[in-house]
Structure 1
Amino acid sequence: MRLTPRIVPLLLLAAALLGAAPAAPHPVEAQAPQASWSWPLEPRPAVVHPFDPPERPWLSGHRGVDLAASAGATVRAPAPGTVVFVGWVVDRPVVTIDHGDGLRSSFEPVDSPLALGVEVEKETPLGTLEPAEVGHCAPAACLHWGVRRGDEYVDPLQFVEDRRPSVLLPWAGPP
């Protein structure tokens, strides 16, 4: 068979279309949820202001989440770690926990009796939520929870919720 210049592109197109045919569906294995930390407040709080990082590190943005709570609420460690900061930042009290693997979480405004270097377990009380005199939630109280991986802020909710996208599985038909 002699291939003419007009037939070659058609054969290439047919081969490409046949090669791109969908494979037979196969079951997708369920993965364990990514969430392994606990919420820093009990019961599970509403998210008042979600994570909204800036496009560039020097721009304004919301580098954590604000969780609804009442002044005086107990704030707990979401995961084991070491207290690396307890003190005031600008106009509010802050507690920071180093969880290892480059992860640090900070909580404000939290009045804490803990000292630097104290080891905490998951759900150990860190302190109490202070009334909101300033901040996004004022005059209502809320807990600002931020998490950094190295120097980059990440969404804290990924550690307490399974944030993976939903996946539709093939339907095998009626049982």
Structure 2
Amino acid sequence: MLVRPSRSRRVSRPRRPRTGPAAALVLALVLGAAVPSPGPAAQGWAWPLAPRPAVVGDWVPPAERWGRGHRGVDLDAAPGATVRAPAAGTVSFVGFVVDRPVLTLDHGGGLRSSFEPVESALVAGDRVRRGQVLGVLRGRDHCGPGACLHWGVRRDGDYVNPLRFVGALEPSVLLPVPERLRTAAQPASS
């Protein structure tokens, strides 16, 4: 005879809230904790274009590592613009990814930066210093009718906002909530 376990014996466990990078960032901002700095390896980084370009495409991290997002920033630039190394490093990749010429630098300490669309005469293994010419902006990009340089930075394989490395991010500031908004948010007493 087959005996099935009773459903009433099932033990329910309290559900743990889902957490992830976005939840950790929100918690850090709410508690007033500082977002981790780029670290000592990022000191002395420079913009890959001169003069300092306008950011025409913001960094939009994906909710999950494999999800949709914009894993870098788009910098306004004209076709043929000179692209320079933001920091010293070693060229780790020069070639095409799908239909775009890409160059990647390994800066050591788990940091890598990538640039597209950049045509370059450099080859993997070439060492570059900060400010050295990497190549020129040429080829298909994703900025529509205008041209742009897509600049991405990874730390230990995870994408981070490149603007952190050139001091272009303002710190988050929690402002006091006006009294009228605090009052409106309070639950009505019965």
Q: Scaled by the length of structure 1, what TM-score is found?
A: 0.72
C-alpha contact (below 8 Å) 1:63/1:154 kept by paired residues = yes
| Aligned position for 2:135 | 127
Find the aligned partners of 1:143 and 1:134 in 2 and give their Cα distance.
8
Unaligned stretches of 5+ residues in structure 2:
1-41, 174-190
1:51 aligns with 2:59: yes
Query: Does the residue aligned with 1:117 lie in a helix, a strand or coil?
Result: coil
| Aligned position for 2:169 | 163
1:148 aligns with 2:116: no
Query: Does the residue aligned with 1:96 lie in a helix, a strand or coil?
Result: strand
Are the structure 2 counterparts of residues 163 and 86 from structure 1 closer, same or farther at C-alpha, using a change threshold of 3 Å?
same
Shift of 1:162: 5.3
Q: What aligned pairs does 1:78-117 form with structure 2 within 5 A after superposition?
A: 78-117=86-125
State the AA in 2 paired with 1:128: V
State the AA in 1 paired with 2:47: W
Q: Scaled by the length of structure 2, what TM-score is found?
A: 0.66
Higher helix share: 2
Find the aligned partners of 1:134 and 1:113 in 2 and give their Cα distance.
19
Find the aligned partners of 1:151 and 1:55 in 2 and give their Cα distance.
16
| Aligned position for 1:62 | 70
C-alpha contact (below 8 Å) 2:94/2:123 kept by paired residues = yes
Unaligned stretches of 5+ residues in structure 1:
1-33, 168-175
Report runs of 4+ in structure 1 exceeding 2 Å deviation. 162-167
Query: Does the residue aligned with 2:135 lie in a helix, a strand or coil?
Result: strand
- 1:3-39 Cα distance to aligned partner (Å, 9 max, x none): xxxxxxxxxxxxxxxxxxxxxxxxxxxxxxx752000
1:72 aligns with 2:59: no
Shift of 1:139: 2.0
| Aligned position for 2:183 | none
C-alpha contact (below 8 Å) 2:116/2:151 kept by paired residues = yes
C-alpha contact (below 8 Å) 1:35/1:161 kept by paired residues = no
Are the structure 2 counterparts of residues 163 and 35 from structure 1 closer, same or farther at C-alpha, using a change threshold of 3 Å?
farther
**Relative contact order: is structure 1 or structure 2 higher (C-alpha 8 Å, sep ≥ 6)?**
1
Find the aligned partners of 2:43 and 2:108 in 1 and give their Cα distance.
16
State the AA in 2 paired with 1:96: T
Find the aligned partners of 1:53 and 1:165 in 2 and give their Cα distance.
18
State the AA in 1 paired with 2:119: D
Are the structure 2 counterparts of residues 80 and 134 from structure 1 closer, same or farther at C-alpha, using a change threshold of 3 Å?
closer
Larger Rg: 1
CA RMSD of the aligned region, Å?
Answer: 1.8
Identical counterparts, % of pairs: 61
Shift of 1:101: 0.3
Find the aligned partners of 1:166 and 1:151 in 2 and give their Cα distance.
25
| Aligned position for 1:139 | 145
C-alpha contact (below 8 Å) 1:35/1:162 kept by paired residues = no
